[in-house]
Amino acid sequence: MPKARQPETISRLPPYPKIVILLSERMSPLQFAPFSSAVDSGFWYQLTQKKLDVFKLDDGPVDMSGFYSTSSAPGLPPVFHVDYSALESSGSRGSVCCVSGTLLNTNTLEDFKRKDKRMLLQENAQQKIWAAIEDGRALQDPSLLQHCLFLTFADLKKYHYYYWMAFPALTFPKDVICEKEQKLTDCFSQEKLERLEQSLASLDPCDRGAFLVGDQGCHPLRERDSLKGKILLGFTDPSGFAKHPGWPLRNLLAFAAHQWGGNSWEVVCFRGKAENSLLLSLRTEGEPTVNGVCPEAVGWEMSKGKLVPKKVDMSESMDPHKLACNAVDLNLKLMRWRLSPGLELERIKDTKCLLFGAGTLGCNVARCLMGWGVRHLTLLDNSKVSYSNPVRQSLFTFEDCKKGGVHKATAAAQHLREVFPGVEATGKVLSVPMPGHAVPESMWPQVKNDVAELEELVSSHDVLFLLMDTRESRWLPSLLAAHHNKLVLNAALGFDTFLVMRHGMRKEREDETPHLGCYFCNDVVAPGNSSADRTLDQQCTVTRPGLSYVGAAMAVELLVSLLQHPLRGLAPASKVGECGEGELGLVPHQVRGHLHNFSNSILASQGFDRCTTCSQRVLECYRREGSDFLLRVFNDPDHLEKATGLSELLVGLKDDEIIALSDEDSC
């Protein structure tokens, strides 16, 4: 079989030496300029987002769209564009021709390689193009004569994309001969050219890709029977080659041969302007016949003269911050796709967390929250980083200790942003007033300002984590949380034990029905100054180094389990042996862990009606008196026992009637 002659126009263009593909495997005098795809970087970003949010692990066909237009410069191949909107919707883009398409995104590179490309192309041509020709839909909507097939594999961890574009074209009729090529300006009068351009612009967008040309201008294909005089086929030609029409003419000829028969056609190749357009006289040897089977299709795009896919590396051109956000989201979404389909990740992501304490527990809790995708974190602490901190507190370095140390809250927030730029981390250097820590009268204005700022922070966040060293430092945040009915997670460390608990929430603030207790509900004495006369070992948090990681992780996991429970913070305390109603299982009230025997105990307790923090008596005093009530508590912790009635309860109580539990006692 003789070798096909390459067109002279193309042979003079080194970048496109083999751009022309024959209509079929047989020799054909008419050669077409196939599409060369141009895929914008925006499409890959949108594909990444759709894969994460919508497509998940589904590798089924997805609707997409692309477009082509007339060539802007002579000698350039037809270009088919796929941009950022390809996965949204298809439609008119003014002077361009939109083409619907099918995206097949495989989940593995092996699947991408194993796909039977020939079968995919033939099936796509049969289902999308030939079926529309046979049942007449293409007559009503000529845009159905063009379709694209996009086979991809998206490596979402490395942002490498493998793709292969196909433009199915039917090899029917088999042999098409171009008898004559003319410039349109040599054949049409100026008046007729003007009518052609004006009438084409007025056509419906779906009719602009393929149309009829009569004496009065352009008409939709479906009006052929009503037209008189000489009728020509016309199409929007994306080719820039002088003698070679663009790829869309293939399927238009297949449609005309099937719909109207005949063995000769005159075709107007409209290229944006009349002076660039062509008139071709085409014929076939004999009458084309159809045997009811879809003709063979060709159309896989060539790369450097070979039928091979292409690869794009977007890792360096995409915004690193967006890459980091996508990577974090991907890890969590893989968890939902594979293991927990009901996991509501957006609820976790949108939760605003306020961390009281940016030390050993605070650093680890913040890191774990980021691992779950929490984006909004505020850390509150007034101490500075010391030389003993970095080895135990995971957000600090040796540099943070120099020159007296930087404030923990601001340093922790800065390092969180360095770890993950997508997090909104804020550090607040603020003191928390405490019962038993007297406030001189000269400091009252400052303390009132601090309380007002604390209340604003509590009201603007969804969850509070209490991660401080002393018992009394947890009192005011617990009171403010109860006042605003916020969810509280409390974590405390002993030498080899930890306590993680959630404070009970009420359906209504004034509701007196039983609820789970808070950190202070099991106490019969008010919190006081526990730091007075402390020895060195009592001034420092002396714990086994791994304990803070366990306690911090337990606190965060308890929060996430609560967020996935139907009742959220109102969920009842789960018991050992229960399955749990939440997506992630149990939601206990308290977890006490023991490293000395590597065991955990799940506990629960009801709220105490004389609690010094969350009881209605205390909350009512705060609502009524505000900061004045707080100042009395700070200067006189016994005031809480009087306000709640604990002092009356303790009158006449014998020592052997009080049970004292320490962290070392078994439960």
CB of 284 closer than 8 Å to CB of 176 = yes
3-state class percentages of the chain: helix first, strand second, coil last, to nearest 5: 35, 20, 45
Of 178, 368, 518, 540, the catalytic one is 540
Helical axes 475-484 vs 616-625, angle rounded to 10°: 90
Which conformational region is residue 533 in: left (phi greater than 0), alpha (psi within -120 to 50 degrees), or beta?
Answer: left
Residues 530 and 637 sit within 8 Å (Cβ to Cβ): no
CB atoms within 10 A of CB 174: 16
The three-class DSSP label of residue 203 is coil
The three state secondary structure string of 216-277 is: CEEECHHHHHHCCCCCEEEEECCCCCCCCCECCHHHHHHHHHHHHCCCEEEEEEEECEEEEE
> Distance between CA 506 and CA 615 in Å, rounded?
11
Burial environment of residue 146 by CB neighbours within 10 A (0 to 12, 13 to 18, 19 or more): buried
Please give the Cα distance from 340 to 56 (Å, whole number).
Answer: 13
Residue where the block lists tokens 């042979």: 11
Q: Alpha carbon 353 to chain centroid distance?
A: 21
Rg (CA), the chain: 37
User: Residues 494, 385: contact at Cβ < 8 Å?
Assistant: no
Closest CA to 39 of 235, 299, 322, 314: 314
Contacts of 666 (CB under 8 A, 6+ apart): 594
Q: What is the spatial distance between Cα 333 and Cα 50, in angstroms, rounded to a whole number?
A: 12
Is 325 an annotated catalytic residue?
no
> Coil, helix or strand for 397?
coil
Query: What are the φ/ψ torsions at residue 257 (nearest 5 degrees)?
Result: -65, -40
Question: Cβ(469)–Cβ(491) under 8 Å?
Answer: no
Report the DSSP pairing between strands 352-356 and 463-466: parallel
The set of catalytic residues is 540
